[in-house]
Each structure stands twice: as C-alpha cells, then as structure tokens.
C-alpha cells in the first residue's frame, strides 16, 4: 500500500502545507528539540510526547497524529486539520480510522527540516510503529548528506536511491531540475507525495526504477546518492533501504561505476555511505582506485567516522532480530561476526565520497578525519570551552566563537572527559543513568553511541582526538 497522488488529490497536499506553516510545525519542533533537530530526524518519542502537553492544542494534535504516529480522536483531528482535509488525506492513503472514534496515519510519520516536509515510515523503534519492516527510510545519514549538498547545485541533477526524496527536496532550487530514482514502490509513492507537498512538482520528477536503468544514457551536472550500504550475511533478511549485499558495496559499487557514463563534462557527484574495511582503510578505496585509474577524475574519500565491528555487529543484529522476530539476536550476531572475519574486516567506516570530472590531471585520495575509533581512546577537551544555556540545549563556545549546540546528555559526557578516562570508562560510568534508553543493546549500544558522539564532537573541535593510552581505559 502506498500513497497515491493524483491531480485531484494534489490540492489536499498543498492545503496540508499551509496548515503546517500556519501552525509552525517546523519552527516549534526546532525549538523543542534543540541541537538534536539538526542531527536526527527522529525525536525521542517520550520526550516529544511530554512536551506536547506544553504547547497549544492544534500543533500538539498535529505532532501526535503526524509525527509520533499516535491515534487521536477524530474530533481533534478535524479541529486541527479541518474535516475536508482529513477526508482528502484519507483518500490519498495517508490517514485511516483506528477503531470507531480515532484516526491515525497508515504507519507514516511527517518529518520536517528547514521548512521542508517529508512523509516517511514510522521507525521500528517507536512504540506506535505498526509495520516494523519499514520500506520508506530516513535517518541521520540522510540529514548528513542533505547538509553537505554541493553549494552551487545547478542544471540537471540526479538523486539515486531517493527514498522519501529528502535530498532532492533539500537540493531543489529555481536553477536546477532534479530526477530522483527509487526502487521500492512504497518509497516512490511517498517521494511523489513529498514533491507535491513541498510545491516542487515543476522541478522534481521521481522515477520508479533500478539506479541508472531508469534514466537510460542521460548525463547530469550533479549526482547525489545515499545508497543502502550495510553488509548483510547470506540468507539473512534485512530491509532493502539498508541492504548493501554481502560486502555492503552491491549498490554503491554500481553507482560509482556508472558515474563516468552519467556525468557531463565538469560534472560532480556527492555520496554518503558506510563501508567495512581493515584497520588501514575501507575496502571501497580499492574499487575507487580501479574505477578511476585512468586520470581525469578528482576523487575524495572523506572518512568522518569509524566503529569497531564488534559493537556494530551487536547493534545491527539486535535491530534485525527486533524487526523480523525470526532469529535470535545472538544467532544473528554470530552470523555477522563470522562474515566480517571471512572478509578480513575489522571496522565500519562512515564516509563522504566526492567525485569530479576534470579536464586534465586528476587524483584519488583518502582523508581520514576520524581519529577516535575505539573505546580505548581517551577524549580530551579542547582548551577554553564555555557552555551557555539554550532551550533545551547548550551552546558551546571557545574564545567567543560558537562551536555548536549540544544536549544535556552530551554535556554530562563532556564533564567526565578528564584527559585520563577512555570512552569506554566514561560510557560505563554514565551507563546506569541511561540504561533504560540503551536497554536494547546494553553497554554495546552505549559505546556505539558514545563513539559516534565523540566523532561529532571532534569534528566540532570540542574534543581533541585521543591516543588510546588512557590510564582508566576499558574496551
């Protein structure tokens, strides 16, 4: 079942956008979520539910119904959206009855970012999620690519693996025409709906198809992609949005191989992905050297994070066992670990990949930004940090310069960075306080999050990379 947008239902989506703007759906969320708003599409369910009690009834109903996926009384939905719009959104396939007196979304959630909106599936970890095997994906990686789109993105643009169309919608401007390509029919329906919802029907077209097959031999000025990239052991079921095949490169490799045939002269590509490798580099670096060996290409593999596979195996096995409920987490974890061992893989790298067609010369280079990749690493605070309260977050300053915004939990983490304790030791100390939050993955999950946090904080220059020689270390 997917969202159906026709010429007659399109006005309902335009009306919905007006309601969202009138009720400050995006601005309120930005204020309520603080720094987290910029990093992750998914608000903490319990925290946002609680905050809904403090805001006016109309936006509170919209957040409950459209963002959190709660069933709400029909009368409340009618008051917030208007009876006609409720009926129209039911016809499009976004809303349906939940019992006699309530309305809910058909497992959709409406994410907003910088005044642009996308319908996507409710995430498997929300208590309201009614189909855990989600088909329409958006995550922190989507935001990261959305925030790193090429600044002068003009001309013909191709967004491969478009999903909700988030990247295409973020990139849309009067000086470009964008084609999004997506294989999952449910995501195609959502992306087409999202294009209309944001008023970009004239500029963005969503095609249903398999990568470049959907565009024939057309060439583009810019190509974007956030493909599925997780390595999945043979015989294990995993959602298509993340399944990168046995080595994780099944889709990414085809995208990169197709760049020479689909970029115009001077054309550029920006991709985001993760990929396994050994301690030296992600394996994708070998593919890049092979594909671009003839010159005429500037290729930058920018590694921004890395994770020991020991933790990643546990986190991904836990999620998979929860989504499908077929195989136990321990059994799946063994499968992932065996696969990684066979591949000689030790780390999961997260990276940006920039490729540019150049008239002469060209080089393929790897830059490794991340230096904190193990729980043994000791994070050190940059000198002269100052915290100023925001709502509900903190701003971090150094020498009067704002470095960024952090939440309370991150602040507590930073307070324990004494220059001697490792990431592992700090996580173990904080774990009891957040045990409930990490209950699905125990200390592994906490370490996984802590490593991600450290990498973000070092990119913000709040932390100085550690050296793995902490006195109070624990891995």
Ligand X SMILES: C[S@@+](CC[C@H](N)C(=O)[O-])C[C@H]1O[C@@H](n2cnc3c(N)ncnc32)[C@H](O)[C@@H]1O
Give the nearest distance from C-beta 186 to ligand X in angstroms.
Answer: 9
Q: Which of 26, 76, 121, 182 binds ligand X (CB under 6 A)?
A: 182
Q: Which two tokens stand for residue 112?
A: 């907003």
Q: How far apart are CA 446 and CA 181, in angstroms?
A: 36
Q: Which of 31, 79, 98, 240 binds ligand X (CB under 6 A)?
A: 240
**Binding of ligand X by 231 (CB under 6 A):** no
User: Of 146 and 424, which CB lies nearer to ligand X in the complex structure?
Assistant: 146
Q: How far apart are CA 378 and CA 357, in angstroms?
A: 40
Q: Which of 187, 230, 299, 375 binds ligand X (CB under 6 A)?
A: 187
Considering just the CA atoms, what is the radius of gyration of the chain in Å? Answer: 23
Q: Which of 59, 228, 233, 267 binds ligand X (CB under 6 A)?
A: 228
User: Of 73 and 185, which CB lies nearer to ligand X in the complex structure?
Assistant: 185
Q: Which of 28, 89, 111, 145 binds ligand X (CB under 6 A)?
A: 145
What's the gap between Cα 166 and its chain centre? 10
Q: What is the DSSP string of 65-131?
A: IIIS---EEHHHHHHHH-HHHHHHHHHHTSEEEETTTEEEESSEEEEEETTEEEEEEPPTTSTT-S-
Give the nearest distance from C-beta 137 to ligand X in angstroms.
Answer: 4
User: Of 203, 208, 115, 194, which Cα lies nearest the Cα of 156?
Assistant: 203
Q: Which of 16, 195, 204, 251 binds ligand X (CB under 6 A)?
A: 251
Q: Which of 93, 123, 227, 231 binds ligand X (CB under 6 A)?
A: 227
Q: What is the DSSP letter of 247?
A: T
Question: Residues 259, 223: contact at Cβ < 8 Å?
Answer: yes
User: Of 243 and 475, which CB lies nearer to ligand X in the complex structure?
Assistant: 243
Q: How far apart are CA 139 and CA 111, in angstroms?
A: 11
**Binding of ligand X by 137 (CB under 6 A):** yes
Region of residue 115 (left: phi > 0; alpha: psi -120 to 50; beta: else): left
**Binding of ligand X by 184 (CB under 6 A):** yes
Give the nearest distance from C-beta 62 to ligand X in angstroms.
Answer: 22
Region of residue 112 (left: phi > 0; alpha: psi -120 to 50; beta: else): beta
Q: What is the DSSP letter of 214?
A: G
Give the nearest distance from C-beta 4 to ligand X in angstroms.
Answer: 18
User: Of 8 and 210, which CB lies nearer to ligand X in the complex structure?
Assistant: 210
**Which range, of 135-143, 284-292, 378-386, 450-458, touches ligand X by CB under 6 A?**
135-143
Question: Residues 98, 293: contact at Cβ < 8 Å?
Answer: no
User: Of 142 and 458, which CB lies nearer to ligand X in the complex structure?
Assistant: 142
Task: State the binding string over 152-181 for ligand X (x if CB under 6 A, else -).
Answer: ---------xxxx-xx-------------x
**Which range, of 29-37, 226-234, 365-373, 452-460, touches ligand X by CB under 6 A?**
226-234
Q: How far apart are CA 138 and CA 182, in angstroms?
A: 14
**Binding of ligand X by 138 (CB under 6 A):** yes
User: Of 60 and 206, which CB lies nearer to ligand X in the complex structure?
Assistant: 206
- Which residues sit at the interface with ligand X, rule CB under 6 A? 137-138, 142, 145, 161-164, 166-167, 181-184, 187, 210-211, 226-228, 240-241, 251
């Amino acid at each position: 079942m997917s969202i159906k947008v026709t010429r007659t239902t399109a006005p309902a989506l335009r009306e919905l956008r007006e309601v969202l703007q009138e009720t400050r759906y995006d601005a309120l969320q930005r204020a309520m979520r603080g720094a987290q708003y910029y990093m992750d599409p998914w608000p903490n369910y319990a925290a946002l539910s609680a905050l809904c009690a403090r805001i006016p009834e109309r936006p509170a109903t919209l957040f409950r119904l459209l963002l959190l996926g709660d069933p709400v009384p029909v009368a409340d939905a009618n008051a917030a959206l208007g009876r006609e719009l409720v009926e129209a959104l039911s016809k499009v396939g976004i809303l349906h009855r939940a019992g006699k007196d309530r309305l809910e979304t058909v497992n959709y959630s409406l994410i907003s970012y910088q005044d642009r909106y996308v319908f996507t599936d409710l995430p498997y970890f929300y208590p309201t999620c009614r189909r855990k095997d989600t088909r329409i994906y958006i995550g922190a990686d989507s935001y990261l690519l959305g925030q790193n789109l090429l600044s002068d993105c003009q001309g013909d643009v191709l967004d491969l693996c478009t999903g909700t169309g988030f990247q295409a919608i973020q990139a849309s401007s009067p000086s470009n025409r964008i084609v999004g390509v997506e294989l999952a029919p449910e995501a195609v329906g959502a992306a087409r709906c999202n294009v209309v919802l944001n008023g970009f029907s004239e500029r963005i077209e969503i095609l249903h198809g398999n990568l470049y097959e959907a565009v024939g031999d057309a060439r583009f000025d810019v190509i974007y992609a956030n493909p599925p990239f997780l390595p999945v052991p043979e015989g294990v079921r995993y959602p298509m949005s993340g399944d990168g095949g046995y080595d994780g490169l099944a889709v990414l490799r085809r995208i990169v191989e197709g760049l020479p045939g689909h970029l115009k002269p001077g054309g550029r590509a920006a991709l985001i992905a993760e990929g396994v490798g050994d301690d030296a580099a992600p394996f994708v670096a070998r593919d890049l050297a092979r594909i671009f060996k003839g010159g005429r290409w500037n290729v930058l593999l920018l590694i921004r994070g890395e994770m020991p596979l020991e933790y990643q195996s546990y986190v991904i096995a836990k999620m998979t066992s929860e989504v499908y409920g077929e195989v136990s987490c321990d059994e799946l974890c063994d499968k992932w670990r065996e696969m990684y061992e066979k591949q000689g893989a030790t780390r999961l790298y997260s990276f940006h990949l920039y490729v540019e067609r150049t008239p002469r010369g060209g080089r393929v280079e790897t830059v490794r930004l991340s230096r904190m990749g193990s729980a043994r690493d000791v994070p050190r605070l940059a000198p002269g940090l100052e915290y100023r309260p925001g709502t509900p977050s903190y701003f971090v300053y150094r020498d009067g310069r704002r470095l960024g915004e952090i939440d309370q939990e991150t602040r507590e983490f930073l307070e324990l960075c004494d220059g001697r304790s490792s990431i592992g030791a700090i996580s173990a100390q904080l774990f009891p306080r957040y045990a409930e939050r990490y209950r699905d993955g125990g200390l592994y999950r906490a370490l996984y999050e802590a490593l991600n946090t450290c990498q973000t904080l070092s990119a913000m220059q709040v932390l100085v990379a550690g050296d793995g020689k902490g006195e109070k270390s624990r891995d």
